[in-house]
A and B are shown apart, each in its own frame.
Chain A
Amino acid sequence: MSADYVLMKGNEAIAEAALRAGCRFYAGYPITPQSEILEYMSVNMEKRGGTFIQGENEIASMSMLFGASAAGARVMSSSSGPGFDLKQEEISYLTSNNLPAVLVNSMRYGTGDGEITPGQDSYWVSTRGGGHGDKRLIVLAPASVNECAELTYLAFDLAEKYRNVVEILTDGAISQMIEKCTLPPAKEHDIDKFDWTLTGKPLGVKKNKMNNLTNIIGHPAYSEMMLNKFKTMFSEEQRWESVMTDDAELILVAYGISSRVCKTAVREARAAGIKLGLIRPITVWPFPRKAFENLPESVKGFVTVEMSISSQMGEDIMMAARNSKPLYGCLTNVNIPKAKEIVDFCLDVLAGKVEPMEVI
């Protein structure tokens, strides 16, 4: 076991992993349930020689991030619910300039002000959002504190590899729970590593003019480049965990906090002779369509387990399964699902008592 074995909150693990990945610029605005990220950065960022700014609002924080990323730093911001909505403008600007950044969206349940308790109903804003125009964000969904650290560390490399925004999609439960965690090794990032950054160059040397890339390279080249990037990210970055799908009759699909309960549900169902399996997307974009290839004949349908009113992930499952099997929705909205409730739901599905869902 590593000497870095620690007991931490999900939010703290995200912040510490970011610092160890070489993140040296954080700007954000407080909102529950992710404020510990901001607080951790306020204590620890300057010790690592970086900049922490508590912004006057989300938009200003993201604009500082935009500048810092353009200047070559590894950058991060975090928010939740209504706060994350406000970050959309700059996600679009980051995309239009091909700039890397890591964002954390710790989902709180509900529309408008909503609740401060966990939810999974910001799936659409994370996987489809990002402001106006065409863009794709890589969205990583940790299901443990350890994964909070692991995926945040990875996020900075992916952001840089694709020059793209990468999002950590967690929820109030994963963000707030305390678990053991193995922290990755600390590394430094060289802000002069890339030739596309703003450095302040001597006269006569070719300058970087960061504007909409379409203005610089033209629409045909930009469209081709972005489409290639989206395709490459889609084919190369799908991540998931399959649990007992080889002989399953029903396959649960869940991420984040719900997926943890689903693992218990699979274990309890199996003990009772019910063949449940689980596909846990680790990337929700790109959605792991590969996990739905070559599933056994025994599979009668899929059950999406989500904390939302609409099945936000349902259309992704339907597309991944190419609509070949019925989809059932075990949607618990404001409540964290319970294992027994999931098993009972599956028993009803197998008994023909539940109608397959239309995605709405």
Chain B
Amino acid sequence: MPVYKTPKSIIAPSGCCGGCGHGIIQRLIAESIEELGLQDQVIACVDIACSEWSLDCLDYDHIAGPHGRIASVATGIKKVRPDKTVYALAGDGSSYVIGWTETTYAAVRDIPITMIVVNNGIFGMTGGQMNLATTLIGDKTVSSKAGRRRETMGHPVDMLQAIKTFDVEFAARGALYDTKHIDETKRFIKKGFENQRDNKGFSIIEVLSPCPTNWKLDPVDAMEKIKNENEKVFPVGVYTDRGGNK
């Protein structure tokens, strides 16, 4: 029977709401970093909003950037300290909506950072508003109370389909709704850090993650929603891998 040790990098509880996926993602980041022996050289860049909770949780140098600009902040740091492991952790509002330009051009420049995007289909920190890029058609939020309508609010977009055309090192999507998918997500995140260790280019890992608080579902139902609804629009798997394993 496997024994799971808490990574040494985790120094405090995640601080997130019950059933939130952010805590799992923080742990996967810490495990990946320690398994690769990179824990003594990490600089973490977190977006404001829910990603910022990891600032107190993980024992790395941290910076919280302006909302949406985290790929740019990480670019600046990686250029000044190219020998350090620099990762960006941000939500889907930050990475795909207000900061889509910044994410795009970090990818186009092929900056050798590891970017982790939490796709929970909603603006969590601000109380559950619609996310233009990731809220599903019909999903009810506090800014789409009758459900998202394509005619007036547009439709969700699979941004990894765009990113894979930018000739980046690695782009993949994982999910957290069962252990099989958590393990797969971990492999993707670890691959992102391996690429950086090996001086390869831009790696982005998106994670389908639940927000029970703002979805107004209990944690188990939130996981079921990802499996039955969100994953249909946002398929998990590797979108591009220049290293060529898949």
Chain A interface residues toward B at CB < 8 A: 24-25, 27, 51, 53, 55-57, 59-61, 63-73, 75, 89-90, 93, 97, 191, 198-204, 207-212
Q: Give the number of residues in B that approach A within 8 Å (Cβ atoms).
A: 37
- The answer to whether B76 touches A211 (Cβ under 8 A) is no
* A61 to B69 alpha-carbon distance, docked (Å): 10
- The answer to whether A211 touches B77 (Cβ under 8 A) is no
- The answer to whether B8 touches A203 (Cβ under 8 A) is yes
From known contacts A25-B76, A200-B42, infer whether A70 and B59 are also in contact, taking CB-CB under 8 Å: no
B101 within 8 A of A: yes
B159 within 8 A of A: no
Residue of chain A at shortest CB distance from B42:
A200
- The answer to whether A200 touches B80 (Cβ under 8 A) is no
* A75 to B79 alpha-carbon distance, docked (Å): 12
* A208 to B43 alpha-carbon distance, docked (Å): 10
| 18 pairs, CB–CB < 8 Å, chain A vs chain B | A24-B80, A25-B76, A55-B105, A56-B102, A59-B102, A60-B69, A63-B70, A64-B79, A70-B63, A70-B77, A73-B80, A198-B81, A199-B84, A200-B40, A202-B41, A203-B39, A207-B61, A209-B61
Contact with B66, one of A24, A93, A199, A210 (Cβ below 8 angstroms): A93
B32 within 8 A of A: no
* A70 to B59 alpha-carbon distance, docked (Å): 17
- The answer to whether B77 touches A60 (Cβ under 8 A) is no
From known contacts A200-B43, A208-B62, infer whether A71 and B102 are also in contact, taking CB-CB under 8 Å: no
- The answer to whether A199 touches B101 (Cβ under 8 A) is no
- The answer to whether A200 touches B102 (Cβ under 8 A) is no
Per-residue CB proximity of B60-94 to A under 8 Å, as 1/0?
Answer: 11111110011011111101110011000000000
- The answer to whether B61 touches A200 (Cβ under 8 A) is yes
* A73 to B55 alpha-carbon distance, docked (Å): 22
* A210 to B75 alpha-carbon distance, docked (Å): 16
Neighbouring A residues of B84 by C-beta, 8 Å: 199-200
Residue of chain A at shortest CB distance from B38:
A200
Neighbouring A residues of B40 by C-beta, 8 Å: 200-203
- The answer to whether B77 touches A198 (Cβ under 8 A) is yes
Residue of chain A at shortest CB distance from B75:
A64
- The answer to whether B9 touches A203 (Cβ under 8 A) is yes
B56 within 8 A of A: yes
Residue of chain B at shortest CB distance from A212:
B64
- The answer to whether B66 touches A67 (Cβ under 8 A) is no
- The answer to whether B105 touches A56 (Cβ under 8 A) is yes
Neighbouring A residues of B45 by C-beta, 8 Å: 67
Contact with B81, one of A55, A69, A200, A211 (Cβ below 8 angstroms): A200
Interface residues of B in 84-123 (CB under 8 A from A): 84-85, 101-102, 104-105, 109
Residue of chain B at shortest CB distance from A51:
B79
- The answer to whether B76 touches A89 (Cβ under 8 A) is no
Neighbouring B residues of A53 by C-beta, 8 Å: 75, 79, 109
- The answer to whether A198 touches B63 (Cβ under 8 A) is yes
Q: With contacts A198-B61, A208-B62 known, what are 4 further pairs, Cβ within 8 A? A: A25-B76, A56-B101, A191-B81, A211-B64
Distance to closest chain A CB from B31 (angstroms): 14
Interface residues of B in 37-53 (CB under 8 A from A): 39-43, 45, 52
Neighbouring B residues of A199 by C-beta, 8 Å: 43, 61, 81, 84
Distance to closest chain A CB from B32 (angstroms): 15
- The answer to whether B81 touches A65 (Cβ under 8 A) is no
Contact with A63, one of B8, B59, B73 (Cβ below 8 angstroms): B73
- The answer to whether B76 touches A65 (Cβ under 8 A) is yes
- The answer to whether A63 touches B63 (Cβ under 8 A) is no
* A56 to B9 alpha-carbon distance, docked (Å): 35
Distance to closest chain B CB from A3 (angstroms): 32
Neighbouring B residues of A65 by C-beta, 8 Å: 76
Neighbouring B residues of A71 by C-beta, 8 Å: 43, 76-77, 80-81
Neighbouring B residues of A67 by C-beta, 8 Å: 45, 63, 65, 72-77, 80
- The answer to whether B62 touches A207 (Cβ under 8 A) is yes
Contact with B85, one of A64, A66, A200, A202 (Cβ below 8 angstroms): A200
* A24 to B82 alpha-carbon distance, docked (Å): 14
* A51 to B111 alpha-carbon distance, docked (Å): 13
- The answer to whether A200 touches B64 (Cβ under 8 A) is no
Closest 3 CB pairs of A and B: A67-B76, A63-B69, A63-B72
* A70 to B109 alpha-carbon distance, docked (Å): 21
* A313 to B123 alpha-carbon distance, docked (Å): 43
Residue of chain B at shortest CB distance from A68:
B76
- The answer to whether B65 touches A60 (Cβ under 8 A) is no
Neighbouring A residues of B74 by C-beta, 8 Å: 67
* A6 to B63 alpha-carbon distance, docked (Å): 41
